[in-house]
A = this chain, B = another copy of it.
Amino acid sequence: MPNDMADQKGQIPTNLRLLLLLEEVARAGVPVTPAGLVEALGLPKPTVHRLFNTAEEEGFLQRDIDGRSYGPGPRLRRLSVNTLSSQRLRTLRLSILTEVVEQMDETCNISVPDREHMVYLERIETKWPLRIQLPVGTRVPLHCTASGKMYLSSLNPRYLDRYLATHKLEQHTSKTITDVAALKAELSKTRKRGYSTDDEEFMYGMVAVAVAIVDDQGRLVSTLSAHSPLQRNNLVKITENIGTLKSAAEKLSDLLLT
């Protein structure tokens, strides 16, 4: 179904082939084998193999540890990062973010998962003098932040279990959830209601809420979150703005796709 104009005219131009291949690999989301894509691409077997080889040689694809399947390589990742941080997109992102900040009057952030952390990608501050100092580029833990918990809640249960099995839940404040079962319950609640919260779990005096920014397959790609010092807003009050956050997150998702 998702094969655009690929086989529409019976033929795919040479120029496009590698690109379509990468598109399929990216869409698959998991490493794929050449044989597995032969049908999806509608190209002859030798061609597909050749394309995989070229892509690997050039660093656009990278072999998985099973030695036979391929996923995105360093060069494709760099290309992707550059694409998404292009000036035009950034401008549009910031304008959406600014609007949210004006409505909520709280600092907002866009963060992406990076290994075992969330990284702040963009942020717009409120005009209030009382601010939380977490500049762009800062890495924060997953298990005790709103954005991190939103991310964890989007993981397939198997990966989540693996993550939890290999990582200790470090205590940051007395409210940090350090028990695996409790965290899983919290994540399940997060999944159901579609937003996550941080009630002083990372820093004393700070509360936050986060929602997901998703791709065309509904996978989380980044998060939109709002932070506030307790002196100004408590969790209940900041949660009242979830609607605003959600609609902004939807706009941000659209930005990526249309």
Interface residues of A (CB under 8 A from B): 4-5, 13-19, 22-23, 26-31, 51, 54, 56-60, 62-67, 71-72, 74-96, 98-99, 110, 112-116, 119, 121-122, 136-137, 155-156, 158-159, 162-163, 166-167, 213, 215-217, 219-222, 251-252, 255-258
Distance A65 CA – B30 CA, assembled complex (angstroms) = 36
For A47, the closest partner residue in chain B by CB is B15
For A91, the closest partner residue in chain B by CB is B115
Chain B hits for A71, CB < 8 A: 86, 88-90
Q: Is the CB of B67 within 8 A of A221?
A: yes
Q: Is the CB of B26 within 8 A of A83?
A: yes
Chain B hits for A18, CB < 8 A: 15-16, 18-19
Q: How far is the CB of A150 from chain B (nearest CB, A)?
A: 13
Q: How far is the CB of A104 from chain B (nearest CB, A)?
A: 17
Q: Is the CB of B257 within 8 A of A77?
A: yes
Q: How far is the CB of A183 from chain B (nearest CB, A)?
A: 17
Chain B hits for A162, CB < 8 A: 92, 255, 258
Distance A26 CA – B80 CA, assembled complex (angstroms) = 8
Q: Is the CB of B252 within 8 A of A65?
A: yes
Asked whether A19 and B60 contact (CB < 8 A) given A30-B86, A220-B85, A221-B67, the answer is yes
